[in-house]
Amino acid sequence: MIHITLVYYFVFASLTQIGGVMGFVRAKSQASLIAGLISGALLDLAGALLVIFPASPKIGLVTGGVVSLLLLGRFAPAFFKTKKLFPAGMMFFLGTASVILTLVAWAGI
């Protein structure tokens, strides 16, 4: 399950970074750009840690799990308030899947 989780972290990172750039292009939101790039970089780091330290995946899972929870905490309220699928809905569903994958991978250690 670790392998699926690390691939998911890289996909989630890319989508988060793309979303940050799109937020900047569409709304001129520097906050979206900075948050998207930093969050994506941290998710990339989580995936890289799982690749670099396969015998000790806890630090990568903790990193990915914390970033996913933070993104979920930011976007879940916005999604439930606005019901808009982009960006809040997409990030809500991606964050939820990431947290679930992280917990399942952690349980399998």
Express each pLDDT in 43-57 by its tens digit. 999 999 999 999 999
List the chain residues with pLDDT less than 70.
none
Express each pLDDT in 21-36 by its tens digit. 999 999 999 999 999 9
* Strand, helix or coil for residue 109: coil
22 burial (CB, 10 Å; 0-12 / 13-18 / 19+) is middle
Q: What is the structure's pLDDT at 38?
A: 98
Q: Residue 19: enclosing H or E segment and its boundaries?
A: helix 2-27
Q: How far is CA 100 from the centre of its chain?
A: 12
Distance, in Å, from the CA atom of 109 to the CA atom of 107, rounded to the nearest integer, reads 6
